[in-house]
Amino acid sequence: MALFFDSAWFDARLAAAGLQRGDVAAALGLSSEQIGEVWKDQRELSANDVRLLSALLAVPAADVASHAGVSTPVPRDVPPDAAALAEFNERLTRVERTLAEIKALLLDLRSGSP
């Protein structure tokens, strides 16, 4: 178990999943500044945050908690309720839509389109 937040581990998991910290912020409903605090070990993750990160990164919740610091709770093995799962899926859909919009804007900039 990591004593402090293991930012290198999380950055590696994000890279492997093709995600960025902004995606974590969107999934957890936090601002970029708040995610920065998490990465600097200045903000703790809740059991629900661990559960959401576990799903986002496709790793066991115990791994997320282990690398998030000693005081990070491991969520109980309770299946997520339908409302929480629907909320997570909705957030993920918004993240994917935003990424698609950003990609389209970048492609327009590269092609010189107004």
Q: pLDDT tens digits for 9-59?
A: 999 999 999 999 999 999 999 999 999 999 999 999 998 899 999 999 999
pLDDT of residue 78 exceeding 70: no
2 closest CA partner among 100, 68, 73, 72: 68
Residue the block writes with tokens 């339908």: 82
**CB of 112 within 8 A of CB of 106?**
no
Distances 29 to 34, 57, 92 between C-alpha atoms, Å: 10, 16, 11
pLDDT of residue 2 exceeding 70: no
Distances 31 to 13, 35, 75, 87, 108 between C-alpha atoms, Å: 20, 6, 23, 17, 27
pTM of the model: 0.64
Share of the chain above pLDDT 90, in %: 61
Q: Which domains, ranges and CATH numbers included, belong to the chain?
A: 7-111 (1.10.260)
Name the pLDDT band for 83 (thresholds 50, 70, 90). Answer: confident
Mean pLDDT for 93-97 is: 91
Mean pLDDT for 49-77 is: 86
According to the model, what pLDDT value does residue 90 have?
87
